[in-house]
Amino acid sequence: MKTFNLKKLTLTAIFAAIAVVGSLFSFPVFGSKCAPIQHLVNILCAVTVGPWWGLAQAFTASVIRNLLGLGSPLAFPGSMCGALLGGLLYRYGKKLPFAYLGEVLGTGILGGMLSYPVAYFVMGNQAAAIFTFVVPFLISTCGGTILAIVLTMPLKKTGILGKMKESLEQ
């Protein structure tokens, strides 16, 4: 039986809160709100708490952002695909670039394409097409990924990232 990890739950909740507050710093691109802090948080989740906790963080942050009027339903496919794929690639690749690549591909390509049915059926956007949101999502995720690189590389180099992950497993 797996034990419940309160430390991971707490850190996931903190990451979700950071993503919500970070969405105050968003900008519109082709009908979507780009929030690069969400992508930074997705990568931090990928490398610290793992893919499933990252997915939970992205879902939670998306719900709260939508309830507060800080996001749109497009936040769900974008952030959740990026968090999950970034976490899975990092888990199996064991290197930071895998988390970065997973976030960019997950949010920018998969999340962008999965936003089409959300925009069309949920938001009533009749002009949406399958690739409508790929470019804006790529712009947002690349910005957040650059922020994550700037933050995680020094943490890895100094050993702090490893110590953080170790402390979560105890």
Yes or no: say if 46 and 87 are a contact pair by the CB < 8 Å rule: yes
Domains, the chain, with CATH or none: 32-165 (1.10.1760)
Question: What is the average pLDDT value for the chain, to the nearest integer?
Answer: 92
Mean pLDDT for 82-100 is 97
User: Residue 158's pLDDT band (boundaries 50, 70, 90)?
Assistant: very high
**The pLDDT of residue 1 is above 60:** no
Does pLDDT of 33 surpass 80?
Answer: no
CB atoms inside a 10 Å sphere around CB 28:
9
152 confidence band (pLDDT: 50, 70, 90): very high
DSSP per-residue string spanning 125-159: -TT--TTTTHHHHHHHHHHHHHHHHHHHHHHHHHT
Mean pLDDT (whole number) for 111-123? 93
pLDDT > 80? residue 102: yes
| pLDDT above 90: residue 26 | no
Evaluate whether 87 touches 101 at the Cβ level (below 8 Å): no
User: Which of 63, 20, 71 has the alpha carbon at shortest distance from 41?
Assistant: 20
Q: Residue 5: pLDDT above 50?
A: yes
Burial class (CB in 10 A: 0-12, 13-18, 19+), 94: exposed
Residue 15 pLDDT > 80: yes
Q: What is the mean pLDDT of residues 112-123?
A: 93
Name the one residue in this structure whose structure tokens are 């989740």: 45
pLDDT at 31 over 70: no
The amino acid at 14? I
* pLDDT exceeds cutoff 90 at 41: yes
Do 119 and 132 meet the contact criterion of CB atoms below 8 Å apart?
yes
What is the DSSP code (8-state) at residue 4? P
The rounded distance, in Å, linking the Cα atoms of 55 and 58 is 5
pTM as predicted: 0.91
Distance CA 7, CA 170 (A): 9
Q: What is the reported pLDDT for 45? A: 96
- Residue 44 vs residue 4, higher pLDDT: 44
Degrees to nearest 5, angle at CA 115 with 80 and 16: 25
Nearest CA-CA partner of 146 in 43, 45, 51: 43
